[in-house]
Amino acid sequence: MSSLQDSGSGLSSSKQDSSASAAAETDRSDELLRTRFMLDSDEYQEGAGRRRFLYLSCIATSLAGFSFFVWPFLESMNPAADIEASATTEVDLSKIKPGESVTVVWRGKPVFIRHRTEAEIEAARRDDAAPMPDPQPDAARVERPEWLVVMGICLHLGCVPRGQRPTDSKGEYGGWFCPCHGSHFDTSGRVRNGPAPNNLSVPEYTFLDETKIRIG
């Protein structure tokens, strides 16, 4: 009987030990889980900080790259100083005598400037009503009667008419003659004969004073 009681007590003690061991194991597992969660949470927060840092660094680098590459590109689109200078041309008229002509370059193209005589002015005005391919009164083509400023390009095929030098043929109307296809221009630069469809064009220009103009 005594041995049965001892055996029962041993079994009861063994069960209690097993229960205690299981409870301890459960507590240990919970602790490990909690610890692991906390570690994962800390790692997550640290990683998020690194990602934010990398994100902001990428933005800063992109802005720096934009300034380094794009800004010079935008600056290169602005006209250079020499191009801006060539956009206008100033001409001193004081040395051009009546009856003489000079050729200047504006934007890479020739411009004819003629100091007209009284006879040339009168001839241009007299022919205002004459039949022309491109009718235009002389007064509409000059700022001052004695000075004629026209582009030195025939609008037929882009040739440069003759008539600037004293030895050049000035055509049938005393102005210019285009030998390429035979267009004749009068002393106002208007086409009178030949295939040119339009008069010699008048560029934009301004008198800065009595003896100087700015073209463009």
Catalytic residue annotation: 181
Query: What is the DSSP secondary structure assignment for residue 183, as one 8-state letter?
Result: E
| Cβ(115)–Cβ(95) below 8 Å | no
| Cβ(167)–Cβ(155) below 8 Å | no
Closest CA to 108 of 144, 152, 141, 148: 152
By residue count, the chain amounts to 216
- Within 10 A of 126 (CB to CB), how many other CB atoms are there? 10
Dmax (CA) for the chain in angstroms is 160
Beta bridge partners of 178: 183
CA distance 168 to 176: 9
CA distance 51 to 35: 24
| Cβ(172)–Cβ(130) below 8 Å | no
